[in-house]
Amino acid sequence: MTINALPRRCALATLISLATLGNTTQAAENTGPNSGNKASPMEEIVVNGGFTTNARLDTATGLGLTLQETPQSVSVMTYQRIADQNLRSLTDVVNNAPGISAKGLDSSRQRFAARGFAIDNYQIDGVPMAWSSGGDAGETQSDMSLYERIEVVRGATGLLTGAGNPSASINLVRKHADSRDLTATTRFHAGRWDTYGAMADVGGGLTGSGSVRGRIVASYEDAGSFRDLAGDETTVFYGVVEADITDSTLIRLGASHQDNDPTASTWGGLPTWHSDGSRTDWDRSTTIGTEWSSWASTVENQYLDLIHTFANGWTAKVNVNRNVNEADLLLVYLFGTVDQTTGLGLGASPYNAHTERDQISYSAQLTGAYNLFEREHEFTLGAIDSSQDFDSSTRARTNVAPVGSFFDWDGSYPQPTWGASSTAVDTTIDQTGYYAATRLSLTDDLKIILGSRVADWEQRGASYGAAVNYGDSGVVVPYAGVLYDVTDNHRVYASYTEIFKPQAEQDATLNYLDPIVGESREVGLKSRFFNDALHTTVAYFIALQDNLAQTAGPVVQLPNGDTFQPYRAAEGAESKGFEIEVVGRIADGWDISLSYTDFEVEDANGQEVNTDQPHEMLKLYSTYRFRDALDRLTVAGGLSWEGSSYTDTVNGATGEPERLVQDDYTLVSLMARYDLTDNLSAQLNVDNLLDEEYYNQIGFYSQLEYGEPRNFTVSMNYQF
């Protein structure tokens, strides 16, 4: 179950040695799929040097700054990186991105975290999107064939995203119709557990001049699983049309649909204890799924962008975005302990529900440069208004069958009789934000970024029979950053950012508590080498979650007869640590991504919290393309090491306190790609090469979720 920890000193020495390489002349290459004749003069030309990009990012400040200009830890998973590692879902990307982690709740849900806090903010093309707990409506399974790159900004991001935790924000950047010439990429793949799939991505000009362009992406996969009985059928369609209305005005209209249709879905994990209190030890293929259980979901998105560049260089952008997540849940939850001899002892709780989350957002942004005191500065002003309706209905069950011996579990457990549907949750969340930020160029070497957001957030409706009506208005969320160029290639920075999270708890006077405040303080050094082909970041951060609701005295009796538990706002949890990242090209044909994260999270009493997430991570991935006689061959290797994690719980059989521990472990991956022609290549990916056995989850209801065993995928890729 365990592999020895990688020597930390050796890991850090490797990072430092790479970070201090001398300069050479090595230009970044354009390796994107549509890197030919770009479409509009208003649109930036994004250059991906394998694992790096010169794209201007709005994820943190809205100012359109590069990675080096942003005073926070920012990582980008480029198109080439996603293709090299065969990363097919958002969870795959998170497992390989610097500084963030994913833990499986069951077969369909993942929980993402960074710097000790759950990630509850994500964006599509910079527009904040609704995110359900654990991604229970298919969000964590988002198919990567829809996206050009994934951006991750760690720390608080309240300036643009509003409410959330001081963890990170994940921005999914869609593929756009950005080529006037006909381009196409097709992919066919097959893998372990009878997995097969195909993808096509075609785009180009729809008029002779290329002023109107289109792009279509279609993907299908029928995947097996290492779990008994399980599988998943995924279908994805995406289309976008862009038109240059004038030389300075662009309109973009797009829509996507993803359908996840799994079989033998699990709800929760495997039993942890036998009835005598001893620990279980299941085969990784063991499942609690049935022949009829399914966590089916669909994600639909429609959007409209209107972008205009004025004569003075300022740019205005208006966006309308609608996202609908639906899920049909037909599940069974197993609870209890298992008799070591008979296999008896588990109970069953079947569940039948339908959920729908419908969010529509309107946003507007104005960005440009202005002159003040004979220097040029940048400014952005924006507003966003979103409304999210969430509905959940459930069906009562009768005739629930006994589980019998779990040793004989084969998925044939009978489905109960379902009653009529009734509404369980019907809520609406309205969020409005107005923000402004400026980057002041005080000297050629010194830049200061100042910004603020004024936010309103309200939730109303009913949840399981209880009225829901709370929120906050006029919350001011500040942002401040400073960057100083020590030399042409080395830049020091510091930043302070906030985020807030409304809470429904009330004090003794029945007033709602102030929102939880998340803060991030960060200082660091960003450096560039090899003519901007290699980037390094060294950062130290302190993340704080404050105003956390705590019980304040006993339950009291209200005049109307109801009981009420008063709460008070208290100090929350604080995370302190550092991150090191090295990404880019270190020699001709040799790309690398290397990161190390180390932090501690404690509450106000000095006790460790959120311990079921790794507090140490080392991630390495490197590709090398040979030259001369082997110039058609590219090889790659990677490893992902996580430090130990644990959950303090109670033994389900003895009632005694017990600590569930996942020791540190390492996952190794390999890739080889051979270009059969200039357009056709064959690729082999092997994940978990050493077949490491580990728990992907030890904290969710004190149950266990195994990680995926050794897996392989063979693919054929054609591109022109």
* Residue 525 pLDDT: 98
Question: Does the residue 713 lie in any domain?
Answer: yes
| 558-613 residue pLDDT tens | 676 677 788 888 888 999 999 999 999 999 999 999 999 999 999 888 889 889 99
Q: For position 535, what pLDDT does the model report?
A: 95
Domain for residue 235, yes or no? yes
% the chain with pLDDT above 70: 91
551, pLDDT greater than 70? yes
pLDDT tens, position by position, 79-95: 999 999 999 999 999 99
What does the pLDDT read at residue 239? Answer: 98
- Average pLDDT over all residues of the chain: 90
Q: Quick one: which of 84, 99, 108, 407 has its CA closest to 274? A: 407
Q: 124: domain CATH number?
A: 2.40.170.20
Q: What is the pLDDT of residue 133?
A: 55
Q: Is the pLDDT of residue 38 over 80?
A: no
User: Where are the extended beta strands (E) located within 373-416?
Assistant: 375-398
Question: How far, in Å, are 361, 370, 442, 484, 592 from residue 373 at the CA level?
Answer: 38, 10, 9, 19, 42
Mean pLDDT of 644-665: 94
For residues 649 and 3, the model is more confident at 649
pLDDT of residue 57: 84
Confidence of residue 141 (pLDDT cuts 50, 70, 90): confident
- The pLDDT of 165-186, averaged and rounded, is 94
Report whether pLDDT(639) > 90.
Answer: yes
Q: Describe the chain by its helix, strand, coil percentages, rounded to 5.
A: 5, 60, 35
- Look up residue 660 and give its two tokens: 């569930």
Is residue 365 predicted with pLDDT exceeding 90? yes
Distance separating the N- and C-terminal Cα atoms of the chain: 45
Any domain includes 42: yes
Domain containing 695 equals 8-719
Q: For 125-135, how does the pLDDT look when each residue is reduced to its tens digit (9 = 90+)?
A: 988 886 665 55
Higher-confidence residue of 373 and 2: namely 373
Query: Which of these, 264, 104, 46, lies nearest to 701 by C-alpha position?
Result: 104
17 pLDDT band, cuts 50/70/90, is very low
Residue 715 has pLDDT above 80, yes or no: yes
How confident is the model over 405-415, as a mean pLDDT?
A: 96
Would you say residue 655 lies in a domain? Answer: yes
Instruction: Give the mean model confidence (pLDDT) for residues 303-322.
Output: 96
The answer to whether position 572 is within a domain reads yes
pLDDT in tens, 518-541: 999 999 999 999 989 999 999 999
471-480: average pLDDT = 94
Highest mean pLDDT among 46-55, 56-65, 131-140: 56-65
Radius of gyration of the chain (CA): 26
Q: Which of 247-261, 375-389, 689-703 has the lowest mean pLDDT?
A: 689-703
- Residue 629 main-chain phi, psi, to 5 deg: -65, -25
pLDDT at 506: 86
pLDDT of residue 42: 47
Is residue 41 pLDDT above 90, yes or no?
no
Give me the residue label for tokens 């603020």.
452
Residue 3 maps to a domain: no
Per-residue pLDDT averaged across 226-248, rounded?
A: 96
- Report the DSSP pairing between strands 168-174 and 121-124: parallel
Arithmetic mean of pLDDT, 314-332:
95
Give the pTM.
0.90
Count of domains observed in the chain? 1
The mean pLDDT of 416-432, rounded to a whole number, is: 95
Neighbouring residues of 432: CB distance < 8 A, sequence distance ≥ 6? 383, 384, 385, 386, 455, 456
Q: Could you tell me which of 62, 236, 61 has the C-alpha nearest to residue 155?
A: 61
Burial 379-409 (b: 16+ CB within 10 A, else e): bbbbbbebebbbbbbbbebeeeeebeebeeb
DSSP 663-689: --EEEEEEEEEEESSSSEEEEEEEEST
Q: What is the mean pLDDT of residues 317-340?
A: 95
Q: Quick one: which of 636, 598, 602 has its CA closest to 615?
A: 598
Strands of the sheet containing 127-129, edge to edge, are 74-77, 147-154, 168-174, 121-124, 127-129
